[in-house]
Structure 1
Amino acid sequence: MTRLGVPSYGGTSLLSAFILLLSTGQVFSSVHRPGNDPPEIVTKPRNLQVKHGGIAAFYCAAKGVPPPVIQWKKNGKRVSESQTRYQVRELPDGSSLLRIEPVRMGRDDATYECVAENGVGDAVTKEATLTVFDRK
């Protein structure tokens, strides 16, 4: 608490933070608390070229405190696991694997995004492109 009875956090009064918010007109998605770290992608997915009918596998790893949750998007829309060709695996170390099998030309050629978020700071995104080529 400050002398005026206004709660403080990490040495900054919440009133000061609110006044700064009003004066800048900016809205922040979350509050960074001491001991917490925003998400950071440490291994980004790589561009792939895969033969029609083959298997594509994108890997992504992120760190942060608390540990980030990773989601996958295809052309800006969340990947639906209701399609059995798309499988998302959360690995024990917190990384994630997106597997597409079989890859289809004209359907799977796209930009895929690894999105990591943990409620501290903004979500972070890294992209990779899947190019599908003919079997010939």
Structure 2
Amino acid sequence: PRELPHLHLHRLLSLSSRPRLEDAPPRIVEHPSDLIVSKGEPATLNCKAEGRPTPMVEWYKDGERVETDREDPRSHRMLLPSGSLFFLRIVHGRRSKPDEGIYVCVARNYLGEAVSRNASLEVKFLTPGE
């Protein structure tokens, strides 16, 4: 037991002199799941990543980066602090289907990146002819 404070001090010293010692590349700990949602309804695609430093999370749909409220405050897509993508309401029209597609989340820090599994978001119609 007597050696514990010494070990603790040594650990603190090594952390301060080599701050990157404890750093770790991102890894996805919660992957998004396929969703089937109704037009106009809210929806959430989950993504949770770990790493040190805390990874930045971005979303891609069909290979294109998804714009969220971080870029456009009026966006109906919000990037939650956890890394999940929250849709205030699913937008879906005859010609434009901006929310339907295959999504992945990508977590990055200076040590690398991790990509989640694919998740499909599909919009179901409640009434015929909608």
TM-score by length of 1: 0.65
- Alignment: residue pair count: 99
Structure 1 counterpart of 2:80: 89
Structure 1 counterpart of 2:104: 113
Q: Output the CA distance in 1 between the equivalents of 2:61 and 2:88.
A: 15
User: Alpha-carbon deviation of 1:36?
Assistant: 2.1
Q: Output the CA distance in 1 between the equivalents of 2:48 and 2:75.
A: 23
Q: Output the CA distance in 1 between the equivalents of 2:120 and 2:83.
A: 17
Q: Output the CA distance in 2 between the equivalents of 1:111 and 1:45.
A: 11
Secondary structure class of the residue paired with 2:50:
strand
Residue type of the partner of 1:89?
A: L
Out of 64, 68, 93, the residue aligned to residue 77 of structure 1 is: 64
Residue 126 (structure 2) pairs with residue 135 (structure 1)? yes
Q: Output the CA distance in 1 between the equivalents of 2:40 and 2:126.
A: 8
Structure 1 counterpart of 2:24: 37
User: Alpha-carbon deviation of 1:63?
Assistant: 0.9
Structure 2 counterpart of 1:23: none
Residue type of the partner of 1:129?
A: S
Residue type of the partner of 2:63?
A: G
Secondary structure class of the residue paired with 2:84:
strand
User: Alpha-carbon deviation of 1:65?
Assistant: 1.7
Residue 111 (structure 2) pairs with residue 124 (structure 1)? no
Superimposed CA distance per residue, residues 65-114 of structure 1 (whole angstroms, 9 cap, x where no aligned partner)? 22211111222222112252111121xxxx21211132123331111111
Q: Specify whether residues 135 and 104 from structure 1 end up closer, same or farther in structure 2 by C-alpha distance, changes over 3 A only.
A: farther
> What 5-or-longer segments of structure 1 have no aligned partner?
1-32
TM-score by length of 2: 0.68
Structure 1 counterpart of 2:5: none
Q: Output the CA distance in 2 between the equivalents of 1:68 and 1:103.
A: 27
Could you tell me the percent identity over the aligned residues?
A: 31
Question: What CA RMSD, in Å, does the superposition of the two structures yield over aligned residues?
Answer: 1.6
Residue type of the partner of 1:36?
A: D
Q: Output the CA distance in 2 between the equivalents of 1:62 and 1:71.
A: 11
Residue type of the partner of 2:61?
A: K
